[in-house]
Amino acid sequence: MLIGGAILSVVILGVFSATRAYQEYQLQQIDEKIALRAKEAEKLYGQGRYLEAAHIYDELFRNAHSTKWKEEFRRNTASALTMYGNQLLAARRYDEAMAAYQRALQYAPLPEAYAGMAAVEQQLGNREGAVNHWAAAAQHSRGAQAQAYQRNAAREQIAIGDEAYQRGDLQRALQAWQTAVELAPGTAEAQEAQRKFEQALQELLQRR
């Protein structure tokens, strides 16, 4: 009985070892396939074929079992879609560009995607939309890049104030310039907005 048990134990251990080895082999094969697909996507990305790259990265993202790989492919998909949006923006295909940026944000809140949306809004003449997207880009950035986005938001906000002032709407102009100061504190844009705010406020007080 002991001999039989010993043999059974060896058989079980042998099966377990073989199964584990096969699982490791499968994982290795999967990793190799992932690596090949990732290289294919990287090549397409480098060639400027961003939408094709995005499709592969999305496939890898959805099939990845490792959290690390899943996160990397998720951000890669967002990056490729953002670059595709930039291509569409350059081609003046604004609606399609906006859709590409929005898709990118479903994967990751890349500041570049928000910046692309802001650029689309600028081209369409929607200053308030541009301000909101520049501000969002700043919130998802750091350092000098964040300040650059803040300044872009402030410039658009100043323009909103200028347009209101030209229409004779001093109250709206004052609000816009005050917001511009808050959007990019300590910048040249904030100083410009503050100066315009004070001049318009003085003008408003003189009218009363």
Query: Concatenated DSSP letters for 89-135?
Result: HHTT-HHHHHHHHHHHHHH---HHHHHHHHHHHHHTT-HHHHHHHHH
Q: Which amino acid is at 126?
A: N
Which CATH architecture does the domain made up of 131-208 adopt?
A: Alpha Horseshoe (1.25)
**Residue 159: what residue type?**
A
Q: What's the one-letter identity of residue 192?
A: E
208 residues of the chain, pLDDT tens digit each: 344 444 333 344 444 444 555 445 444 555 788 889 999 999 999 999 999 999 999 999 999 888 888 999 999 999 999 999 999 999 999 999 999 999 999 999 999 999 999 999 999 999 999 999 999 999 999 999 999 999 999 999 999 999 999 999 999 999 999 999 999 999 999 999 999 999 988 887 877 6
Q: Which residues of 144-172 are buried (b: 16+ CB within 10 A; e: fewer)?
A: eeebbbbbbbbbbbbbbbeebbeeeebee
Domain chopping of the chain, boundaries:
36-108, 131-208
Nearest-10 crossing angle of helices 67-90, 111-123: 20
